[in-house]
């Protein structure tokens, strides 16, 4: 545990920061697996573009899990040790892919990113001016999640437009 590093935290309980970071940690692992499996099962038109995006996001979510775990340890906490705890601690849950169509998969993922944006935005509010190091980490992750939502929404809209045009031309 970083003694001097943690002594600069003011106006917030370190245990409360550890608790919310562990919830975010659970979210990141579930998001990682959701992207991992979506990239495997996805079907349909323009799926290759979607697979590239989903795989890139899986890599990012795993990197986020790393960043959050390292911060929990610096604070003197322990990252969740058992995967079953991911489900008892998650904020955003897990969206099991039920329909493997590209558009449905992208919609499931967009929901997850919107939840992640709300969570990290709350964490940034909570730590601002109190725990600068955690604030920096959650702000950096927040920027990634905003980019994720935008990437998925842009792809979703391109594919929807393409399908609409295709249907028009076939008539």
Q: Whole-number minimum distance, CB 13 to Fe ion, in Å?
A: 24
CB of 142 to Fe ion, least distance (A): 9
Name the site residues for Fe ion (rule: CB under 5 A).
28, 61, 64, 145, 148
| Position 145 contacts Mg ion (CB under 5 A) | no
- Residues 18-57 as x/- pattern, contact with Mg ion by CB under 5 A: --------------------------------------x-
Q: How far apart are CA 144 and CA 140, in angstroms?
A: 7
Cβ-Cβ contacts under 8 Å for 118 (sequence gap 6 or more): none
Residue 131 binding: pick among Fe ion, Mg ion, none (C-beta 5-8 Å cut-off by kind): none
Instruction: Give the separation between CA 171 and CA 153, rounded to whole angstroms.
Output: 27
- The least distance separating Fe ion from the CB of residue 21, rounded to whole angstroms, comes to 13
Q: Encoding tokens for residue 154?
A: 């842009």
**Look-up of token digits 């245990």:** 15
Q: Residue of minimal CB distance from Mg ion? A: 151
Nearest to Mg ion of 108, 151 (CB atom): 151
C-alpha to C-alpha distance for 148 and 111, rounded to whole angstroms: 11
What is the rounded CA–CA span in Å between residue 15 and residue 2?
14
Query: 149 is in the binding site of which of Mg ion, Fe ion, none (Cβ under 5 to 8 A by kind)?
Result: none
In degrees and rounded to multiples of 5, residue 76 shows phi and psi of 90, 10
| Contact between 72 and 79 (Cβ < 8 Å) | yes
Which of 27, 38, 149, 151 lies at the binding interface for Mg ion (CB under 5 A)? Answer: 151
Query: Could you tell which of Mg ion, Fe ion, none binds residue 27, using a CB distance below 5 to 8 A set by kind?
Result: none
The tokens describing 28, both together, are 């990141």
Shortest distance (Å) from residue 31 CB to Fe ion:
5
For residue 84, with 0-12 CB atoms within 10 Å meaning exposed, 13-18 middle and 19 or more buried, which class applies?
exposed
Q: Output the smallest distance, CB 39 to Mg ion, in A.
A: 12
Binding site for Mg ion (CB under 5 A): 56, 151
């Amino acid at each position: 545990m970083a003694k001097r590093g943690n002594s600069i935290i003011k106006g917030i309980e370190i245990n409360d920061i550890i608790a919310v970071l562990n919830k975010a940690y659970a979210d990141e692992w579930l998001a990682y697996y959701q992207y991992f499996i979506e990239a495997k099962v996805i079907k349909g038109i323009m799926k290759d573009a979607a697979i590239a995006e989903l795989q890139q996001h899986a890599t990012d979510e795993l990197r986020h899990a790393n960043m959050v775990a390292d911060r929990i340890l610096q604070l003197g906490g322990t990252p969740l040790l058992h995967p079953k705890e991911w489900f008892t601690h998650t904020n955003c849950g897990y969206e099991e892919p039920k329909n493997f169509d590209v558009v449905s998969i992208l919609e499931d993922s967009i929901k997850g990113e919107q939840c992640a944006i709300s969570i990290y935005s709350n964490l940034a509010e909570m730590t601002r001016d109190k725990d600068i190091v955690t604030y920096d980490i959650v702000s950096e992750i927040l920027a990634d999640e905003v980019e994720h939502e935008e990437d998925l929404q842009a792809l979703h809209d391109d594919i929807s437009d393409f399908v609409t045009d295709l249907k028009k031309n076939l008539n």
